[in-house]
Structure 1
């Protein structure tokens, strides 16, 4: 005698428990998929360090060089002084002018007393107002002469100060054109100094390289093979123009980290990851199926694509190994099936 399944309450209970414990998604799960990543190639660009700024120093006076305080390769001291000219004659001019100032004070004192005395005499009708006017005029003239002499004293002292030639403290002398005892004229260039406290490295980049540089952001670094070290860097400035010969963008990177030798001409390598031509992608090794001597990728719809195996892909991220493959019909962002191994 046959028993209908609806009459078995235990069977219905077991079926309900099974449907509750097993997710619908698992019953309908398809193959595991991965997304192809863009392949990149490593480009190494070479530049050389240079001073952030360079100044040509010139003299504002003519005269004989008396002292030179810094040699080539030495920094400018905290007093900012590079050299001084002989100041004998400017000192004599200052001394003469101050003697004139002292005489003016004596004359002003004399005429001030004369004005007060004749003002009293005029009140007593013992002197004419014309005489009083003459003394007041002479007093005003001496006071005006004193102001002119005082202004000349300030001018001479400022000029004397400029008989010394100054440069920014800490900057290093790159070239020196004078020696003690040499005669220089107004406007003569006496030295060239550079700010090596901050080092720049210039590069000429294509648009693709410039975009890769921007993408590096705060992780930007330079390799210094001559010093066997690596240092942080940042994008300091970008020229709005371009190099007419190479048609490239001119940029300056500033070295940020570490104690780097303060000099120009140190080799600095900039390493950038650039996208390669379309058709080359990076996928997990498990997505590539090898049969005989041919490699294949499989799309979610089952289409199998023969690819050229280009080798392992270097990656600093932990996880399963990845490889580089090529086919003209594939691109980054496409999905492929993972195969069990």
Structure 2
């Protein structure tokens, strides 16, 4: 197996740009960069003075119409009685009925206008999800903004994610790791902490430039510093395809700047040290040589032989892929 280490940085699982739905003067800003949105879910508020004045005007007009409609209904009832007594003409009754209908329609129009104004008043508040953290703030109190203008951004750091771009081979190895009992583990090198992770989402699109698969992992272990930008390392064991093999460190001896192995039968072979790997079977060295192949057996190096002979009568190790 060959060990591949990928390094990325943590990020929020979701981001939300904040824009205004009404133009006007910024009346209040409730949070600065780095603050967490509270239970009221407010980020900013626009000046709503003229909207409230307009709503008061509509309410006054509705009150006037209610009194006018009550008067019109009394007039209609009175002329209906006079018409039955032949003391009035039909045209007079029709006039009062039409006046009553016009005033009722005007009252319905004002009700709709009142609902529109109330909705516009609600939209003077720029809301943000509770518990999210402010990452950008682009306005100040008393500043004029237009409809749809970007005034800030919040992000959800309650779940930290790490993005990776993997080859199909690496993606298959990571998928296999996620199905194992131990699962996926990441190392936060700056915090010195190892955390558990799981597959969060796989981007279905294909990047022609990199020819890699974009995925995101989700951290399942609580982190003391829950923020973006934490250096994260992922170690993926992949099959060895270069002809190199894995050997225990005690079978490789160093002479000056060269590395050698001693076959159980045959002469010593000079090898090239390509790296190391720590797996379930302990630490292994990755070496390459035309004379070394999987299944070959090698002697324990003299430095380790004395100790090993106390534990085993046959001091030898087998090369693996």
TM superposition score category, shorter chain reference: 0.7 to 0.9
State which of 202, 224, 227 in structure 2 corresponds to 1:238: 202
Give 1 or 2 for the bigger CA radius of gyration: 1
Aligned to 1:289: none
Report the alpha carbon displacement of residue 163 of structure 1 after superposing the two structures with TM. 0.9
In 2, Cα distance between equivalents of 1:335 and 1:295: 7
State which of 41, 61, 65 in structure 1 corresponds to 2:26: 65
In 2, Cα distance between equivalents of 1:331 and 1:86: 77
Aligned to 2:238: 274
In the superposition, relative to structure 1, how do residues 308 and 238 fare at CA in structure 2: closer, same or farther (>3 Å)?
farther
In 1, Cα distance between equivalents of 2:45 and 2:271: 72
In 2, Cα distance between equivalents of 1:178 and 1:323: 57
1:295 aligns with 2:263: yes
Report the alpha carbon displacement of residue 259 of structure 1 after superposing the two structures with TM. 3.1
Q: Tell me if the contact between 1:111 and 1:138 (Cα under 8 Å) persists in the aligned partners.
A: yes
Report the alpha carbon displacement of residue 80 of structure 1 after superposing the two structures with TM. 1.2
Give the paired residue count.
290
Q: Which has the higher contact order (CA 8 A, sep 6+)?
A: 1
TM-score, scaled to structure 1: 0.75
Report the alpha carbon displacement of residue 87 of structure 1 after superposing the two structures with TM. 1.2
1:228 aligns with 2:197: no
In 2, Cα distance between equivalents of 1:87 and 1:174: 26
Q: Which aligned pairs between 1:255-274 and structure 2 lie closer than 5 A? A: 255-274=219-238
Unaligned runs of 5+ in 2: 250-260, 298-311, 315-321
Aligned to 1:94: 55
Q: Which aligned pairs between 1:1-341 and structure 2 lie closer than 5 A? A: 40-217=1-178, 219-277=183-241, 279-280=243-244, 294-296=262-264, 314-317=278-281, 341=314
Q: Tell me if the contact between 1:278 and 1:328 (Cα under 8 Å) persists in the aligned partners.
A: no
Q: Tell me if the contact between 1:77 and 1:169 (Cα under 8 Å) persists in the aligned partners.
A: yes
In 1, Cα distance between equivalents of 2:136 and 2:168: 37
Other structure's SS at 1:295 match = coil
In 1, Cα distance between equivalents of 2:248 and 2:235: 25
1:281-321 superposed Cα distances (whole Å, 9 cap, x missing partner): 56899xxxxxxx74158xxxxxx9x9888899754359xx9
Report the alpha carbon displacement of residue 107 of structure 1 after superposing the two structures with TM. 0.8
TM-score, scaled to structure 2: 0.79
Other structure's SS at 1:195 match = strand
